[in-house]
Amino acid sequence: MSQAELTREVARRVFASEFNDSTYSFKESDDERAPNYALLPTGDRANRVFVVGTLTETEDVGEDSEYWRGRVVDPTGTFFVYAGQYQPEAAATLRDAEPPAYVSVVGKPRTYETEDGTVNVSVRPESIAVVDEGTRDRWVVETAERTLERIEAFQEWEAQQEAPESGSTAPTNEYAEMARDRYDSPVENYRRDVIQALEQLEDVDDAEATA
């Protein structure tokens, strides 16, 4: 077994607005067991994500067997989490949950094409846990930081593409290149989402300070 197969896939931190735009998925090899990745528009690949937000609604949308859908909201949008018979623990957590509640979700990105050709991105959970507000706030800050890091790398790469003669030493960025080819939403959008998410935290702080 090669080293790569032994390595556990990292759980990316990504806000809902960017996650839901990650409609292109790919594999790195032809092996049928090769891991599946969602392409993040800020230029990275995600085989797994860790998200924390407010569970606002759960619904059993299954026909023959239980299939639970949960809406998990962060400052930028909504993650759709689907758990059925193959994710029994996560399905049980959604069944028993009493929204609204803060939850953390570890899971895999999945895409689904609707009849009108729209691609929906959802999370297939490995685990769901009820958490506190502190954990949610920490996740927002952490996700903002990781997202800014991706945007920075993307912009450095972009600058080098536009001015190759400048001799910049920005590293190659395979996934930034892939993102530019596949998507048309500029990374600037996600920078704005980061600012909005952080401002929301700061506002709450200020409100608490004056209260």
Residue numbers at the binding site for other proteins (CB under 8 A): 3, 6-13, 48, 50, 52, 103-106, 126-129, 131-132, 134-135, 137-146, 148, 151-152, 155, 191, 194-195, 198-199, 201-202, 205
Give min distance, CB of 93 to other proteins, in A: 9
Smaller CB distance to other proteins: residue 73 or 119? 73
Give min distance, CB of 198 to other proteins, in A: 4
Give min distance, CB of 65 to other proteins, in A: 23
Smaller CB distance to other proteins: residue 52 or 121? 52
Smaller CB distance to other proteins: residue 5 or 113? 5
Give the chain as a 3 state SS string: CCHHHHCCCCEECCCHHHHHCCCCEEECCCCCCCCEEEEECCCEEECEEEEEEEEEEEEECCCCCCCEEEEEEECCEEEEEEECCCCHHHHHHHHHCCCCEEEEEEEEEEEEECCCCCEEEEEEEEEEEECCHHHHHHHHHHHHHHHHHHHHHHHHHHHHHHCHHHCCCCCCCHHHHHHHHHCCCCCHHHHHHHHHHHHHHHHHHHHHHHC
Smaller CB distance to other proteins: residue 32 or 98? 98
Give min distance, CB of 113 to other proteins, in A: 28
Give min distance, CB of 33 to other proteins, in A: 19
Smaller CB distance to other proteins: residue 109 or 115? 109
